[in-house]
Amino acid sequence: MRLVFVGPPGAGKGTQAKVITEKWKIPQISTGDMLREAKANGTLPQDLIEKMKAGGLVPDEVVIDLIRARTEKDDAKGGFLLDGFPRTVPQAEALTKLLDSRGQKLDIVVALDVPKELLMERACLRRTDKRTGQIYHLKYKPPPPDAILEHRADDHEDVVRNRVDVYEKMTADLLPFYEKAGLLKRIDGVGDVEAVTQRVVRALEQVRG
Ligand code: AP5
């Protein structure tokens, strides 16, 4: 199974990706996580750090190179879930080309639909446990008392608002691109985590037949 999760900031891509990749035993490949890891290792150039901090997208070539290298690894040979990539049509075209060159193709693109007001609340109150990488939410999924919590630099209200605007602008053509390719499945991302998971699983099972 090779699939993509598309959705605005805070839609629940990472949360759902964790459950699905455990169930299907495929790696979760998140360009956001890879970029944050590069920042933590001191290998992300300063201009890209600033871009992410302000809620903008990093250049297509940067994330395409990350995806090319990561999907070549052994654990991705049997499939993968791309979380937050592609975000633009040039990224989607590069992905198609890359998969074609390997005789592979995508099975499905899942778009999580969540209204703007809820996105703000989901992203601004998100916290991650530094040690385990587990995602929590101060209202919907409170962390345990011993968690070492991190608040992402781009999860402050003004930046989240900008990220949502950037998402709407940059991905406006992406969903029609995948719709035309017959790969797009829109899923209602409102409701508790388990309810959304059930909708996603149903869509994936239909594809697998
Ligand atoms: P990235 O890390 O990909 O961020 P994002 O797409 O903005 O998505 P988020 O991680 O904010 O949200 P999510 O949908 O994963 O939500 P989550 O599951 O955590 O990208 C960060 C930056 O990197 C970008 O701004 C850009 O600069 C750069 N970048 C990355 N990829 C790029 C690319 N391809 N091209 C160019 N630049 C790129 O959930 C959010 C919260 O809600 C959590 O607290 C969770 O517990 C809670 N929650 C989730 N689901 C539910 C539910 N059903 N009910 C209640 N609470 C819920």
For position 23, what pLDDT does the model report?
Answer: 93
44 has which bridge partners?
none
Q: What is the pLDDT of residue 208?
A: 80
**Structure confidence at residue 73 (pLDDT):** 97
Backbone phi and psi for residue 146, each to the nearest 5 degrees, phi listed first: -90, 5
Q: What is the mean pLDDT of residues 24-53?
A: 96
13 is an active site residue? yes
Determine whether the shortest distance from the Cβ of 8 to ligand 1 is under 6 A: no
d(CA 126, CA 102): 37
Q: How confident is the model at residue 137 (pLDDT cuts 50, 70, 90)?
A: very high
Burial label, 129 (beta-carbon count in 10 A; 0-12, 13-18, 19+): middle
Of 2, 87, 127, 185, the active-site residue reads 87
The pLDDT value given to residue 98: 97
Mutate to test the pocket of ligand 1, among 13, 88, 118 (most ligand atoms within 8 A of CB): 13
Q: What's the pLDDT band for 209 if we cut at 50, 70, 90?
A: confident
Q: Helix (H, G, I), strand (E, B), or coil: what is residue 59?
A: coil
Q: Does any ligand 1 atom lie closer than 6 A to the CB of residue 57?
A: yes
Provide the 8-state DSSP code for 56. Answer: P
Q: How far is CA 84 from CA 42, 137, 171, 180, in A?
A: 22, 20, 11, 20
Q: Does the pLDDT at position 200 exceed 90?
A: yes
pTM: 0.96
Q: Which atom of ligand 1 is nearest to the CA of 36?
A: 23
Task: Give 137's DSSP letter.
Answer: E
Contacts of residue 180, Cβ cutoff 8 Å, sequence gap at least 6 = none
Query: Does the beta carbon of 10 sit less than 6 angstroms from any atom of ligand 1?
Result: yes
Q: Using one digit for the tens of pLDDT, what is the confidence trace for 97-131?
A: 999 999 999 999 999 999 998 999 999 999 999 99
The per-residue pLDDT for range 77-96, each reduced to its tens digit, is 999 999 999 999 999 999 99
Q: Using a pLDDT cut of 90, give the percent of the chain over it.
A: 95
Note the helical H segments in 41-192.
46-54, 60-71, 89-101, 116-124, 157-170, 174-180
CATH number of the structural domain 2-114+170-208: 3.40.50.300
Cα separations in angstroms, 56 against 43, 83, 99, 168: 19, 17, 27, 12
Question: Has residue 171 got a pLDDT over 90?
Answer: no
